[in-house]
Structure 1
Amino acid sequence: MDRNELAAFLRSRRERITPADVGLPAGTRRRTPGLRRDEVAQLTFISTEYYTRLEQGRAPRPSREVLAGLARALRLSDAERDHLHHLAGAPPGPPPGPSREVRQSILDLLQRLPQAAAIVTSALLEVIAWNDLAAALMEDFSAVPRRDRNLVRRVFLGPHPGGRRLFGVSDADEFASTSTRRLRATAARYPDDPELTELVAELRAGSEEFARLWDSHDVAGQHPMRKSFQHPLVGLVTVNCDVLDITDRDQQVVIYTADPGSPSEEALRLLSVIGTQRMTPTR
């Protein structure tokens, strides 16, 4: 345990967070640029005296529970969380659940692909980032609750408007099988994640198909290189499907592109103009 480095690191992380960042009132008589020590202690569920001793380099080694509380209270990134554990002499274990934090460079990349529909999925198959063309082709993800952005839940439990399973994609049945295998592998990496446990229980209870696939214990699967979407406005859109792994976040970037000069390219071009609006005639 490197007490001095740990103390300096905690001070630096505390001073960069404002009360508003963690839902606390700022007040008018605040001397510190960030949170106060007692506020961090309150958020971590430890005594102010103990936290003060940590910042002064006088405290005994904190437990893993305290370290986890500090990581949450100080809004640490995955790299900062690992660094905190190493400074405390307690090498980090596996993360409690899949990361939903998308790097800014990846978010920027999505917006630099104006002729491609692109999404980012977490290890739970939740769509956690997307560009405008993906929203127009698949669904306006910003308009649905977070739970409904999960593609595994969507393919097995719906909704299926107009009989269109998973946005009317041609390989919905194949995706159901592949996504179950991916989820089975994810469960092995994050055995203690309550959100994953709840998702699997919901799917097993609501879908006989999922229960059958889950009980097969298969974990390998191939990504389709080509698929078609049956879109309600522009009709059939056939695209190439490329998947890029973001290994440090356990995420994937999925990019859909149409062949140059094809009717599907024209359809995507039209969707980029239409966006997510629904051109329904008015009476």
Structure 2
Amino acid sequence: MDETLGTALHRWRDRLSPADVGLTSRPGRRAVGLRREELAELAGLSVDYVVRLEQGRAKSPSAQVVASLTRALQLQSMERDHAYRLAGLLPPQEGTISTHIPAGVQRMLARLGEFPVGVFSVDWNLLTWTPGWAVLMGDPSASAHNERNLARAVFATGSSGLTSWPVLQDGDALKPALVADLRTALVNYPRDRGLSSLVEELRSASAEFARRWDEGSVGPHVSARKTVVHPQVGEVVCDCDVLTVPGCDIRLVVYTVAAGSADAEKLEFLRVTNGVRADGPTPPGLGLFSTP
């Protein structure tokens, strides 16, 4: 029998365990691998749509849907490309930005769910986030796709970042670093229409971005002290670090607080009240691998 996207999804789903994706395995569980409901939640899709995909009744998933499924299923690059072809789509082409997150990074995130970590593509679109990120910064799943771009949030909308509440930043290292990143990305990914459109949009929408771009603004990412003004606990002072992953162009933005500090107590309170445990796998329902 010829393989279809549905049969491939079922096969890939069967090989993952709940622990692989940060879910708690309940006693008496009989299902092999992930349930359809779990895959749907991880990919940000409806259960009915996943069922129709696997049964072959949904014939034309979008590239965005396929990207979400391949991330949720922790596929390797060749498997990801195979999924695109089975869906009748061209895999991401050379010279365009990849949103693929390596399986090793996804397994790491599943075990770091209590830490606020956001994963961004090279053009600073938020791809996925941990439950800890949603607890501290606000759940991004309610935002539209174009509202999840950090450069757009910082320059075009006047926001302090991809948050539901204010973030007070010390210093001015972020803006030149974002401009430098986009300038480098435009050289590395000349065929990516989304990236070129983003740059043109920001040049038109933000006089500051246009000025920094025309001046050739550059700057490395450095550790920064930021204060999140959370509606439940007030100010939470965090250290923000931007980490890169060798071999791929994704960035991990990680927020941490000093152990034993009042800020650590506030963050722990938010974790507990939102059901994010620091002593075991993160529970479902907090958008660990939400759709972009």
Scaled to the shorter chain, the TM-score interval is 0.5 to 0.7
- The equivalent residue for 1:56 is none
Question: In structure 1, which of residues 69, 73, 77 is the aligned counterpart of residue 85 of structure 2?
Answer: 73
Q: 1:165 to 1:184 in 2, by over 3 A?
A: farther
- The equivalent residue for 2:111 is 112
Higher relative contact order (CA 8 A, sep 6+): 2
Q: 1:235 to 1:113 in 2, by over 3 A?
A: same
Distance 1:75 1:152 in 2: 31
Q: 1:166 to 1:211 in 2, by over 3 A?
A: farther
Distance 1:24 1:114 in 2: 29
Q: 1:261 to 1:71 in 2, by over 3 A?
A: closer
Offset of 1:159 from its aligned partner?
A: 5.9
- The equivalent residue for 1:123 is 122
Offset of 1:242 from its aligned partner?
A: 3.1
Q: 1:261 to 1:193 in 2, by over 3 A?
A: same
- The equivalent residue for 2:147 is 148
The correspondence of residues 8-23 of structure 1 with structure 2, limited to 5 A, is 15=3, 17-18=5-6
Q: Is the 8 A contact 2:138 2:164 kept in 1?
A: no
SS class of match (1:120): strand
Q: Is the 8 A contact 1:102 1:129 kept in 2?
A: no
Q: Is the 8 A contact 2:167 2:226 kept in 1?
A: no
After superposition, give the CA deviation of every residue in 1:90-125 in whole Å (9 maximum; x if it has no partner): xxxx72322112233323322322442111111011
Gaps of 5+ in 2: 8-48, 61-80, 276-292
How many pairs are equivalent? Answer: 210
The correspondence of residues 201-216 of structure 1 with structure 2, limited to 5 A, is 201-216=200-215
The correspondence of residues 137-216 of structure 1 with structure 2, limited to 5 A, is 137-158=136-157, 160=159, 167-171=166-170, 173-216=172-215
SS class of match (1:18): helix
Distance 1:267 1:24 in 2: 43
Offset of 1:262 from its aligned partner?
A: 0.5
Offset of 1:129 from its aligned partner?
A: 1.0
Offset of 1:272 from its aligned partner?
A: 1.2
Q: 1:270 to 1:159 in 2, by over 3 A?
A: farther
Distance 2:54 2:239 in 1: 48
- The equivalent residue for 1:63 is none
Q: Which moved more, 1:175-184 or 1:14-23?
A: 14-23
Q: Is the 8 A contact 1:133 1:275 kept in 2?
A: no
After superposition, give the CA deviation of every residue in 1:222-273 in whole Å (9 maximum; x if it has no partner): 3224332222322221222333312322101222111110111011112213
SS class of match (2:5): coil
Distance 1:157 1:145 in 2: 15
Distance 2:188 2:262 in 1: 42
- The equivalent residue for 2:278 is none
SS class of match (1:261): coil
Offset of 1:23 from its aligned partner?
A: 6.8
- The equivalent residue for 1:54 is none
1:237 equivalent in alignment to 2:236: yes
Structure with greater Cα Rg: 1
| Identity level (%) | 31
Offset of 1:72 from its aligned partner?
A: 4.5
After superposition, give the CA deviation of every residue in 1:36-68 in whole Å (9 maximum; x if it has no partner): xxx9xxxxxxxxxxxxxxxxxxxxxxxxxxxxx
SS class of match (1:136): helix
SS class of match (1:218): coil
Distance 1:185 1:15 in 2: 40
Q: Which moved more, 1:105-114 or 1:197-206?
A: 105-114
Larger helix proportion of the pair: 1
RMSD across aligned positions (CA): 3.8
